[in-house]
């Protein structure tokens, strides 16, 4: 069974998810104020402006916090064993909920403050999940 996928129609995050098909991690900025906006939406939560610009992230950031999930009864996650969910602060200034993979033991190997880089997990839905591994 697949993990939960983004569901549409949901026009605020559709462009973000469409870009994942090309392995592009997109975020928004307000070119007038420099505000960085994430999660994606049509207006700026800082000013109400809908004059926003999409930019592509370089995909490098820092683990802000995390937890290792030992028990998730959703059938897609149950077989994974312990896995790390995390907030990662991208160097461009936005924070994304994600997974930190690519470590032998998530309980001991994931740390707050560790540098991570983007990796993609392609989904059967056609979208791709941005996840992170040690940089």
Q: Which residues bind another protein (CB under 8 A)?
A: 3-10, 12-13, 17, 36, 38-41, 64-74, 76-77, 80, 83, 85-87, 89, 93-99, 107, 112-113, 123, 129, 131
Q: Which is nearer to another protein, 14 or 51 (CB)?
A: 14
Burial of 88 (0-12, 13-18, 19+ CB in 10 A): buried
**Kindly report the CA angle at 110 between 129 and 7, in degrees rounded to 5?**
20
Owner of token pair 């939406």? 41
Least CB distance to another protein at residue 21 (A)? 14
Q: Which is nearer to another protein, 68 or 134 (CB)?
A: 68
Least CB distance to another protein at residue 96 (A)? 8
Inter-residue contact 131 to 86 (CB < 8 Å): no
């Amino acid at each position: 069974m697949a993990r939960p996928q983004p569901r549409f129609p949901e026009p605020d995050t559709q462009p973000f998810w469409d870009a994942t098909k090309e392995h592009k991690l997109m975020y928004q900025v307000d070119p007038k104020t420099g505000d960085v906006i994430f999660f994606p939406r049509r207006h700026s939560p800082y000013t109400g402006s809908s004059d926003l610009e999409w930019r592509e992230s370089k995909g490098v950031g820092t683990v802000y916090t995390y937890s290792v999930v030992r028990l998730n009864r959703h059938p897609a996650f149950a077989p994974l064993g312990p896995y790390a969910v995390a907030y990662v602060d991208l160097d461009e200034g936005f924070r994304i909920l994600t997974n930190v993979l690519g470590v032998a033991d998530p309980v001991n190997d994931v740390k707050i403050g560790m540098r991570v880089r983007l990796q993609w997990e392609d989904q059967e839905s056609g979208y791709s999940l941005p996840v992170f591994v040690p940089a």
